[in-house]
Amino acid sequence: MKNIYNITVKDAELNEINLGNYKGKTLLIVNVASHCGLTYQYEGLQNLSNKFKNDDFEILAFPCNQFKAQEPGTNDEIKFFCTEKYNVTFPLFNKIDVNGPNEDPLYTFLKDSKRGFLGYKPIEWNFAKFLINADGEVVKRFLPSTKPNKIEKKISKLLG
């Protein structure tokens, strides 16, 4: 598989969403958590979403509870937290595993496409980020510590 368009995920309401719906858009896919030292990055992610909302750009956020149980809530609780505290308007999906035997196929594809720092394949922590071009190909993987504003130039370049 060379792009994400044949992958189906579930949204926060458990509806199946084919990522082919995002064909032609530049995407930033992020595993998120509400009780993490990096949770403040929701603000930066929302800023990116606002800045590029008219430019065929979307952020897709996938809550994950695999890192020190920092995302214990239900999908509804996560959505409430994100909208109330950070005014998040980008899509939040169903809580998933990003590593291990139950990892979501999306993350298997992402990790197979771009390894992390020093070739490390597993997701290191909450807020790892994958930049996807308009053809559905992974072009860059960012460490969890990479702040969203540091990705802005790369997004602009992909958007032309």
Angstrom distance (rounded) from CA 95 to CA 81? 14
User: Is 82 marked active-site?
Assistant: no
Burial annotation 67-105 (CB, 10 A radius, 16+ → b, else e) = beebbebebeebbebbeeebebebbbbbbbbbbeeebbe
- From the DSSP assignment, how many helices (H) and strands (E) are in the chain? 4, 6
Catalytic residue, from 12, 30, 36, 48: name it. Answer: 36
Q: What angle do CA 100, 129, 152 make, to 5 degrees?
A: 175
Query: Structure tokens of 104?
Result: 């979501």
- Where in the sequence numbering do the catalytic residues fall? 36
